[in-house]
Structure 1
Amino acid sequence: MNAAEGTDTTTAGTSVRTVPAADAGPLAWLDHAREVTDPVLREAVDSLHPQARIVVGYHLGWWDEQGRPITADWGKAVRPALVLLSAQALGAPPRTGSHCAAAVQLAHDSSLLHDDIIDRDDMRRHRPAAWRAFGVPGALLAGDAMLALAVSLVRHDSPSALATAALNEAVQQFIGGQFEDIGFEGRAEVSLTECTTMAARKTGALMGAACRLGALAGGADEARAAQLDAFGRSLGLAFQHVDDLLGIWGDPRTTGKPAGADLHARKKSLPVVAALGSDGPEAAELAELYARDPATDDADVLRHAASLVERAGGRHRTSGLARRHLAEALDHLDATRLPACDTRPLRTLAAWLALRDH
């Protein structure tokens, strides 16, 4: 057994799986979360209406438009990992909270599916987005089906009304954050505070709920559940800030989207807002560029826009805020007073998410 491996465990009806050791790296925990969550997701999605099932399974990367199996996956499994590791931090057995893990992934993927329609993003995870493959009506209905399915999965792990309320509140917040994000596109000026508040709702709320659901599944009292929720919310802000950086400077081979996609969409992401709010000629030139018709963009224009954002300090400011929110997240984790050995996987994952380059 190597350093990344722990104890072999089994559950009825599943093969033997190895739980990573406490000192395993973040990718080991993400792989483990995907391994635990995937069969629960598949069983749940199989219960959907056949037309919804084909769209959802396509969006999750299990098959092509005709339902033929492929080898793509449904993402990093960040939110499922937060559920499972929050339960584990409380001393719960491995895989406690697996249905909640599947629920938060469904809620997250529902938001991605709808985001692609709203933003008219053609690509998702290196292939045509679901709305491009199945049309807008089918994609909308599939996203709605995913949200409804998420609620039923939460009840499987935690019949308490507190768990359902936590997921519903997170969904309401990320919907509100999406409305704010859309509103920013039609405004010439957006403040950093507004941008951070939007990110807290659109990303932080669901990551906080993931940690709270894991805590509740693991038997946490309200005080610890609240601290883990706060940990997830702060981590969500750090995660979103890094996503904003990748939306401008990320490698398309790893992000699955064209270089400069957020700039072409005239997104008021945090680096752009920080740059526009700075003094200097770069901010003025960036504002002029953002006022132009995106149809005139080419690769050179987008590279120049990225350079303007960087020279105006947007990249540096955003990186600094991501590190600050990571520190806040770890402070909330300390406040749980859980043993350091039990929270080590959460700390490892948090540091990677806030400092990652893909």
Structure 2
Amino acid sequence: MERKKVVVGMSGGVDSSVAAWLLKEQGYDVIGVTMQIWQEEDEQVQEENGGCCGLSAVDDARRVASSLGIPYYVMNFRKEFKEHVIDYFIDEYLHGRTPNPCIACNRYVKWESLLERSRRIGADYIATGHYARIEKLPNGRFSLRVSETGAKDQTYALYNLTQEQLSSTLMPVGSYTKDEIRKMAKELGLLVAEKPDSQDICFVPDGDYASFIEETTDAGSRPGNFVLSDGSVVGTHKGIIHYTVGQRKGLGLSMGHPVFVLEIRPDTNEIVVGTGEESLTRKVRARHINFMSVEDLPEKKRVFAKIRYNHKGAWCTAEKTGEDEILCIFDEPQRAVTPGQALVLYDGEYVLGGGTIVREE
């Protein structure tokens, strides 16, 4: 019987390296691929930016592939990454929203583009080192199940994958803890066994999003007014790209009490600020919905939901309020509900679906 062929996205990190080994052990015909997405041609610039984009990632992945005895290639995805991730990231900030570029990268680059190219070379599946599990449910749909270890669950950033993508994907490390993965890498003698996890957004390694946008576009930062909910002006801001809803530090306002960003208004170039109590809300609305464990949400349903990657999650009642819109009413008020971030709904251990948070009109 012919072995199934799988293309493993190798970032040069320990998780994808062990994923490749696990799949080889399971009898798959494994091919390692690193996705070249950094926009700079200059080698020094690529190296400085590190992460999953730099040359060190390619070097590490190539060495791991060699030690595992699997073929290895570097594929150029610069065009797709610029269009679906960088351009989207900049546009969201300019419109007063806070994007999650990893979600866009997962859906449109790491899956859509990689899957298409992998099929061209005869692959049956693609695979990654994400901490999540994929299961086919009794209703026939594919869904993500939270990883074996809650401390390293990555389902939130993967909620937007389609049924076709899920059915063609393997995630072998989702059944292990991070410690177990590192232990395997050590026992295998992989040079990346102790390599630290990449924390930053790969194309903004210093975390200065505003400077990146200013250097990449002609948009610049246009100062404007900090205002209260009643419209009173209380100060001047540096430009909307420097702020995000829920932000408290770095506002430069002396109000005699903690002040939070409540809303960003790109049309008037105003930033609304207020008290911690004003930053709380029970209502969260989302659009651009992707359902996963269900085909649709026909009626009100009790779900557990997360409003950002590091949110611990909370109970709410979700209902569909439009063709492509859901509304969640949380049992307890949530702080810093941020337009542009993802609202992800869980039904037990499975991802029910999710969407992009929008501002309440």
Decide which structure has greater strand share.
2
Which structure carries more helix by proportion?
Answer: 1
TM-score range (shorter-chain normalised) is under 0.3
Structure of larger gyration radius: 2
Query: Could you state the TM-score of these two structures normalised by the residue count of structure 1?
Result: 0.28
More RCO (CA 8 Å, sep 6+): 1
